[in-house]
Amino acid sequence: MGEFDEATAVAARDDGGWRGTLAEGWDINGVPNGGYLLSLVAAGLRESAGRPDPLTVSMHFLRPSAPGVVDLDVHPGRQGARHATVAGTARQGETAVAQAVATFTDLSTAGDPHRVDLEPPELPDPGECVQRRGLASSGIGQKVELRLHPHDTGFVTRDPSGDPLVRGWARLADGRPVDTLALLLLADAFPPAVFNAGLPVAWVPTVQLTVHIRARPAPGWVRGRFRTRAVTGGYLEEDGELWDAAGDLVAQSRQLAVVPRPR
């Protein structure tokens, strides 16, 4: 039992919905991290689904949330033989903050065939990477320990690489193992790749985030690679991959975020 479990605990309501609490300390400048909100909502929907692993989770962010109680209204989908799908609307008081659909399954048995035309990122050892824990102006930096590739940390000193790419190691700071639920957190815990593009972009609120869980992760550090390929029309996409210590692809993420117009 770790901090992540406490922070994603949910209690049943009488009407089939769930209630949890967005804990203090998982924020970026006071706003709970998007991956953390996703994890809490998925924890509730997972109870409705009755399956152990999120397989694919889609969330649309409606407005910034705040630490405190979150109610999750559940919209039943299907309980099938292999998959269970359920949708939900997350509210704080009467104010909707996010809407999600999630499909759950049991990932304990993998299937064939296998072909992965991607490689895990090449990273220096964690000790030779740049530690973000305690450096970020945010609580989430205390909960998720990041060790970033030195090539990808130029944005911190206003010397971006020019390449909208962020790679690094990640784990939960308290040592709680990363499971398929915690992968949802890690899928949105790295600094935005666009910060290294050299564009006038200071913050990028997420509109939509989809995470596909591809396998249960082996114990140990998770490696992440996040890249933005298209900044256009006032929005950007960021694609991410998470790899486990055994070198297996364990999650793919994609988000669409607003690129606020420079003021």
Q: Within 10 A of 111 (CB to CB), how many other CB atoms are there?
A: 6
Residue of the chain from 11, 12, 69, 110 that contacts its own copies (CB under 8 A): 110
Handedness of CA 86, 115, 193, 36 (dihedral sign): positive
Q: Binding of its own copies at residue 231 (CB under 8 A)?
A: yes
Nearest distance in Å: CB 121, its own copies:
14
Q: How many residues bind its own copies (CB under 8 A)?
A: 65
Nearest distance in Å: CB 135, its own copies:
27
Judged by CB under 8 A, which stretch of 31-39, 70-78, 121-129, 131-139 contacts its own copies?
A: 70-78
The SS3 of residue 79 is: strand
* Interface of this chain with its own copies, residues 244 to 263, rule: CB under 8 A: 248-249, 252, 254, 256, 258-259, 261-262
d(CA 129, CA 152): 10
Question: What is the C-alpha end-to-end distance of the chain, expressed in Å?
Answer: 45
- The amino acid at residue 191 is P
Q: Binding of its own copies at residue 234 (CB under 8 A)?
A: yes
Q: Within 10 A of 30 (CB to CB), how many other CB atoms are there?
A: 11
Cβ atoms of 2 and 174 within 8 Å: the answer is yes
112 to 151: interface string for its own copies, x by CB under 8 A? xxxxxxx---------------------------------
Residue 39 in tokens: 């994890």
- The amino acid at residue 223 is R
- The amino acid at residue 239 is D
Widest CA span in the chain: 53
Q: Binding of its own copies at residue 232 (CB under 8 A)?
A: yes
Residue 238 in tokens: 């960021």
Nearest distance in Å: CB 174, its own copies:
28
Judged by CB under 8 A, which stretch of 19-27, 55-63, 169-177, 217-225 contacts its own copies?
A: 55-63
The SS3 of residue 181 is: helix
Rg (CA), the chain: 18
Distance of CA 236 to the CA centre of its chain: 17
Nearest distance in Å: CB 6, its own copies:
28
Nearest distance in Å: CB 249, its own copies:
6
Residue of the chain from 2, 9, 47, 83 that contacts its own copies (CB under 8 A): 83
Distances (CA, A) of 217 to 42, 90, 142: 18, 28, 22
Q: Binding of its own copies at residue 210 (CB under 8 A)?
A: yes
Judged by CB under 8 A, which stretch of 123-131, 132-140, 146-154, 205-213 contacts its own copies?
A: 205-213
Which residues make up the interface to its own copies (CB under 8 A)? 55-56, 58-60, 62-63, 73, 75-78, 80, 82-83, 85-87, 89, 96, 99-103, 107, 110-118, 164, 197, 199-201, 207-208, 210, 212, 214-215, 228-235, 237, 239, 248-249, 252, 254, 256, 258-259, 261-262
